Amino acid sequence: MGISSDLFVGEVGEDLVCSICQEILDGATLSGCQQQHAYCRTCLTQWVKRPHVAKTCPDCRQAVHEAHFAPLKLLDRMVGRLKVKCKHAGCSWQAEYSDLAAHLASTCQYQRKPCPYAQRGCRAQLRPISAGAHIQNSCDYRTVVCPRGGNDCGGAKKGIYMRKDEAAHAEVCTRHTCKNQGCNTTGRLKTLKLHQHGCDAISAARVRAENRCSLLDHSSKALRDENARLKAVNTKVTDDNKKLEDEVARLKAQLAPRPPKRGAEVLDEVKQEEEDPAPPKDQQPSLSFLGPRGSTFEGGDRRSTRLRGASK
Ligand SMILES: [Zn+2]
Ligand SMILES: [Zn+2]
Ligand SMILES: [Zn+2]
Ligand SMILES: [Zn+2]
Ligand SMILES: [Zn+2]
Ligand SMILES: [Zn+2]
């Protein structure tokens, strides 16, 4: 089978095409006919091995014999100088066909190669572009150090092992730690399993106690707030009482007896009252503002009206 003509950039001369496989000559070989027709080595060998068919040159039908097949290096060199592109889609490399093998073996980022840990048993074929991710994340044969200790945490390899042995190391590792916060117990998985039941109970009790403490904190804060509020109310009531007492004292002073009136004035007043009888009792000036509630005095207008009535 010849070299895929898809690799070649541009036209390839007819003399370099194998007329058995229709591809580019791979190991050009003369059939031994007088016309010097050439074919790929494998194509020509298989051609004459077909059963029940006479051994003839595929082009000119002249009888040929394997003993007369002869390589023609000149044609190989001509093929080697033809321009090709890399066989991997995505790779932009282009050069002479004779450089393709070296490109695939070394610089091509799309050509799969065995994992660096193939000797340890990894079967992965990797593109250089993705080899790093394979080794870092999934190669079972990569060396890892135990995340719990490394180097001295137990087992034959003392915490350094291949990734595939992770579970086996976990069984013998002596650095497992209790998952409960505040507990420093370490040991093998088996030991910790025995420890865990009792430790869980203690840990749960501690959490419950911490919750109770925070509840108490909360209610004592509410009590402090309520106390402060009551103190404020008390202060206001005391202030109001003081204002009331002051007001009463002021009114008493205003109602104190006046000096006696002269005779003519008394007569005038009696006369006036006879013409203008006293108003009904409910229209008389009220003294209800003397009650215990300070609010009665708060409106300036109301107070001044009442005070005018009281002083008449
Ligand atoms: Zn061929
Ligand atoms: Zn021929
Ligand atoms: Zn390439
Ligand atoms: Zn690997
Ligand atoms: Zn370990
Ligand atoms: Zn514990």
* Per-residue model confidence as pLDDT tens digits over 271-288: 676 666 555 555 555 454
Query: Residue 39 belongs to what H/E stretch?
Result: strand 38-40
| Whether the predicted pLDDT of 90 surpasses 70 | yes
How many Å lie between the centroid of ligand 2 and the Cα of residue 38? 8
Predicted pLDDT at 257: 74
Q: What is the predicted pLDDT for the residue at 165?
A: 92
Q: Which has the higher per-residue pLDDT, 150 or 54?
A: 54
> What is the per-residue pLDDT for 45?
95
Q: How far is the CA of 33 from the centre of ligand 2 (A)?
A: 5
The per-residue pLDDT for 279 is: 55
* CA–CA distance, 24 with 79 (Å, rounded to integer): 8
What was the pLDDT predicted at 58?
94
Q: Residue 117 Cα, ligand 4 centroid: separation in angstroms?
A: 5
Predicted pLDDT at 256: 81
Candidate CATH numbers 3.40.50.300, 3.50.50.60, 3.30.40.10, 3.90.550.10; the one for domain 5-91:
3.30.40.10
261, 264, 270, 271: CA torsion to nearest 10: -150
- How open is the CA angle 251-253-255, to the nearest 5 degrees? 70
Where b means 16+ CB within 10 Å and e means fewer, 7-17 reads bbeeebeeebb
pLDDT over threshold 90, residue 180: no
Find the DSSP H helices in 256-275: 263-275
Q: How far is the CA of 187 from the centre of ligand 1 (A)?
A: 69
The pLDDT-based confidence of 65 (bands split at 50, 70, 90) is very high
Task: Choose the weakest-confidence range: 29-38, 223-232, 254-263.
Answer: 254-263
- Share the mean pLDDT of the chain: 85
Q: Which ligand is nearest to the CA of 38?
A: 2
- What is residue 13's predicted lDDT score, i.e. its pLDDT? 93
Based on C-alpha coordinates, what's the Rg of the chain?
A: 57
